Amino acid sequence: MNDCCTPDTKDRTRRYDLAVIGAGSAGFSAAITAAEQGANVALVSHGTIGGTCVNIGCVPSKTLIRAAETLHNSRASARFAGVSAHAEVSDWRATVRQKDDLVAGLRQAKYADLLPAYNGVAYREGQARLVEGGVEVGGTHIAAGKIIIATGARPAAPAIPGVETVPYLTSTTALDLDELPRSLLVIGGGYIGAELAQMFARVGVKVTLICRSHLLPEAEPEIGAALTGYFADEGIEVVSGVAYRAIRRTESGVALEIARDGRNMTIDAEKVLIATGRTPNIDGLGLTEFGVAVSPKGSIVVDDHMRTTRASVYAAGDVTGRDQFVYMAAYGAKLAARNALNGDSLRYDNSAMPAIVFTDPQVASVGLTEAAARAAGRAVRVSTIGLDQVPRALAARDTRGLIKLIADAGSGHLLGAHILAPEGADSIETAVMAIRGGLTVQQIADTIFPYLTTVEGLKLAALAFDKEVAKLSCCAG
């Protein structure tokens, strides 16, 4: 443990304004926000400092995804006449070690090394439990006026008969494999399953992805269907619409029994990765005894002010089961800290929340889907264009993808934007700002966008509400 994180024993009897349980992104956001307001904060955590994102989530997965992308790009280079390239995995163990070095460096720089900069934050190592007047850590009572729970979540396994007998991989352990399996069965078609399925396929693993509904069920159906096709082009078999029957170990690995369209099937692989969801980390907190309500799925129930059902206790981040993105965890924790110290005036607002799936093409969205808008009783107009209408994609000779906009039929205000494009993640923030600023699709269409960029596709999609963009000249919107 770094010296900065060693508990300071000289002030165990002092009373803190705020106790924050959990030292991940949400916990640090809450603690720093409170300290900047002059509060005395006890930051309590056990295990590795930094939480999910830097240690086992965003950072390690995205660097390995990028490594795998270099292999795909070499294979795809033939789309340019006269160009050929070759790349291969020569030492996957070295790639994983490089990932580990990056994680360790960021954990130190962005978490451990930050603590000395905030004199108002005292770090306490240990398992916390809620008690009257504060929290108990390792038998020591830490008095605090307010409490924020930010303990995050961990991978969860579905109730498939036999799953407890199978040595399955999770999104955590899969990133630590130093030897690549010959074949991999991915169970779960959400963003984690999709990202890791493509990553492993690109480094030479034969991948089959199994899901109960379809790939990316929360995305626009056009995006899920298109991405399924692109996966097939890369040799990834997506088997959707299944019911899980049982899973068992075999001499060569694992076998999953499923039912699909009234027929029973068995799918074999050397390894299985379960990516069907996450469960909140609430064990040992004493929530029930302390009057903090949890949902049927085990997440802490909070209102729009981040308050739990127990006065003076707040919660934020993945432990609430809400919007499980690291930036939303940090945002919610910041609100919780400000409300805890200043009277609950701020409300959580995710109406302009960007969501990214780091597949290739990337999936980026904000606001309402078409189905959600119609279910809410909104009269809407919809515009969808393929990337073959976007000059940037034509120049890159990669027209995989589409852009879909949803607008209010009366006012024309942008309600939702959904992008499937190789560079889609870096384009969605323009739509975020448009929704946040209340722009209409006509105002977006009238805005100057730089030529030969992916984000120009938003302008073209806005123009497509009333024009046939295939008949426009370059920049002639």
pLDDT digits (tens, 9 = 90+) for 302-327: 999 999 999 999 999 999 999 999 99
The predicted structure's pLDDT at residue 6 = 45
User: Is residue 11 predicted with pLDDT exceeding 60?
Assistant: no
User: Residue 4: pLDDT band by 50, 70, 90 thresholds?
Assistant: very low
Read off the pLDDT of residues 178-231 as tens digits, 9 standing for 90 and up. Answer: 999 999 999 999 999 999 999 999 999 999 999 999 999 999 999 999 999 999
Render pLDDT for 389-444 as a digit per residue (tens, 0 to 9): 999 999 999 999 999 999 999 999 999 999 999 999 999 999 999 999 999 999 99
- Residue 170: what are its φ and ψ, rounded to 5°? -120, 180
Q: Which residue ranges make up each domain of the chain?
A: 3-50+111-154+279-342, 163-276, 355-468
Question: For the domain bounded by 3-50+111-154+279-342, which CATH number is listed?
Answer: 3.50.50.60
- pLDDT, one tens digit per residue, over 229-277 is 999 999 999 999 999 999 999 999 999 999 999 999 999 999 999 999 9
Cis before 361 (ω within 30): yes
Per CATH, which fold does 355-468 belong to? Enolase-like; domain 1 (3.30.390)
**What is the pLDDT averaged over residues 163-172?**
96
Known binding residues for NAD(+)? 188-195, 277
Instruction: Check residue 241 and give its pLDDT.
Output: 97
* Strand pairing report for 121-125 and 41-45: parallel
Reported confidence tier of residue 476, pLDDT bands at 50, 70, 90? low
Per the annotation, where are the binding residues?
A: 62, 188-195, 277, 318
Residue ranges for the known binding site for FAD are: 62, 318
Question: Closest by alpha carbon to 385, among 421, 343, 334?
Answer: 421
What is the Rg, in whole angstroms, of the alpha carbon atoms belonging to the chain?
24
Average pLDDT on 137-146 reads 95
Distance CA 431, CA 429 (A): 5
Q: Is it true that 3-50+111-154+279-342 and 163-276 share their CATH fold?
A: yes
pLDDT, tens only, 68-127: 999 999 999 999 999 999 999 999 999 999 999 999 999 999 999 999 999 999 999 999
pTM confidence score:
0.94
Q: How is domain 163-276 classified at the architecture level of CATH?
A: 3-Layer(bba) Sandwich (3.50)
